[in-house]
Amino acid sequence: MEILNFTKMQGTGNDFIVIEDLEGKYNDLGILAKKLCDRHYGIGADGILVVRKSSIADIQMIIMNADGSYASMCGNGIRCFAKYIYEKKYVLGENIKIETGDGVKIASICAYDGVFKGVTINMGKYNFNPISIPALSSVEIINKKLETNNKEYYITSLLMGVPHTIVFGKLDDYEVCEGKFIEHNCLFPQKTNVNFCEVVDKNMIKVKTWERGAGPTLACGTGSCAAVAAANRLGYTEGRVKVQVPGGILNIEIVEGEVLMEGPAEIAFKGEFLIS
């Protein structure tokens, strides 16, 4: 038996297990993630965040979904990760460079007298190029009709670190589990996250998400950013938008083509897990 120390964290209800692997001893993170994230036989989470050393940034974050699949980026996860790194004092200062599968992201910590109060993440640029998503389309997927699950959806797809597809309309018109039919549509060879989005006004939207590799979640940071980028592209919103997700509120701002995300990150509990 091996004892694994962990910290359980959540950002607007999107929950993660943070573990340290600074020596890179865990070879199969997919199997480990499935074991830890199981809500009946494990700790329970939407994914794990692994702390590793980086040669190009202050620290590296590896994300594995609950089903054992790899994720290059996670908005709620990186906020939790930044809080963890700051409070463990692995990086001194309030601007942390974090290596992710989607490049190096900057986490700007808001703190008073060394006490963490919040964090803003520069999520980088969004990309509507179907080759980048990837999606099997010769043109950008902007408000395009998609027939699946015996239903018509009008979708807008983009890359926001990971693939996202946005369906605009009234949230009451969609069950979040409908997202699985879009996730697995042949249009998306690497599958896609799906965000159902209701525009309240120019400065507020509501979003519920079906996450690729995790299913329904209380929040999705990259999905909220993608929804704002898509809403902005379609002229539904302005540059700064409040995003209401089932787990809380995120503040998203588009500045010169880059997306800034601000939101909460909290520790739920810490413990030990026995690995057989």
CATH number at residue 79: 3.10.310.10
The DSSP 8-state label assigned to residue 163 in this structure reads E
Q: Is the pLDDT of residue 121 over 90?
A: yes
Q: Identify whether residues 98 and 156 lie together within a single domain.
A: no
Cα(59)–Cα(232) distance, integer angstroms? 32
- Residue 47: inside a domain, yes or no? yes
Q: Identify whether residues 238 and 210 lie together within a single domain.
A: yes
Q: Is the pLDDT of residue 107 over 90?
A: yes
pLDDT at position 1, please? 80
Q: What is the pLDDT of residues 179-230, one digit of tens each?
A: 999 999 999 999 999 999 999 999 999 999 999 989 999 999 999 999 999 9
**Hey, what are 110's tokens?**
């808001």
Q: Identify whether residues 34 and 76 lie together within a single domain.
A: yes
Per the structure, the complete domain to which residue 183 belongs is given by 144-256
Split at pLDDT 50, 70, 90, the class of 129 is very high
Q: Identify whether residues 106 and 160 lie together within a single domain.
A: no
Question: What's the chain's average pLDDT?
Answer: 96
pLDDT at position 239, please? 85
Q: Are strands 95-100 and 240-245 parallel, antiparallel or unpaired?
A: unpaired
- Residue 130: inside a domain, yes or no? no
Q: Is the pLDDT of residue 3 over 90?
A: yes
Q: Identify whether residues 24 and 117 lie together within a single domain.
A: yes
pLDDT at position 162, please? 96
**Which of 266, 273, 275, 267 lies closest to 6, judged by CA?**
273
**Residue 74 annotated to the active site:** yes
Cα(245)–Cα(215) distance, integer angstroms? 15
- Residue 137: inside a domain, yes or no? no
Q: Identify whether residues 38 and 6 lie together within a single domain.
A: yes
- Residue 17: inside a domain, yes or no? yes
- Residue 222: inside a domain, yes or no? yes
Q: Is the pLDDT of residue 134 over 90?
A: yes
Cα(167)–Cα(37) distance, integer angstroms? 28
Q: Identify whether residues 56 and 80 lie together within a single domain.
A: yes
Q: Identify whether residues 106 and 72 lie together within a single domain.
A: yes
Per-residue pLDDT, averaged over 260-266, amounts to 95
Say what percent of the chain tops pLDDT 90: 94
Q: Is the pLDDT of residue 267 over 90?
A: yes
- Residue 135: inside a domain, yes or no? no
- Binding-site positions for substrate: 14, 65, 75-76, 193, 211-212, 221-222
Q: Identify whether residues 155 and 74 lie together within a single domain.
A: no
pLDDT at position 81, please? 98
- Residue 139: inside a domain, yes or no? no
Instruction: Write out the E strands in 44-169.
Output: 47-52, 59-65, 70-71, 95-100, 103-112, 115-125, 144-148, 151-159, 163-168
Q: What is the pLDDT of residues 238-247, one digit of tens each?
A: 989 999 999 9
Count how many domains the chain has.
2
Q: Are 84 and 9 in contact (CB under 8 A)?
A: yes
pLDDT at position 113, please? 86
Q: Which of 74, 80, 197, 225 is catalytic?
A: 74
Q: Identify whether residues 245 and 176 lie together within a single domain.
A: yes
- Residue 127: inside a domain, yes or no? no
Q: Is the pLDDT of residue 100 over 90?
A: yes
> CB under 8 Å to 112, separation ≥6 — which residues?
none
More confident residue, 275 or 184: 184
**Residue 220 annotated to the active site:** yes
Split at pLDDT 50, 70, 90, the class of 161 is very high
Q: Which of 37, 80, 197, 220 is catalytic?
A: 220
Q: Identify whether residues 157 and 114 lie together within a single domain.
A: no
Q: Identify whether residues 58 and 12 lie together within a single domain.
A: yes
> The whole model's pTM is what?
0.92
Q: Is the pLDDT of residue 274 over 90?
A: yes
Per-residue pLDDT, averaged over 29-41, amounts to 97
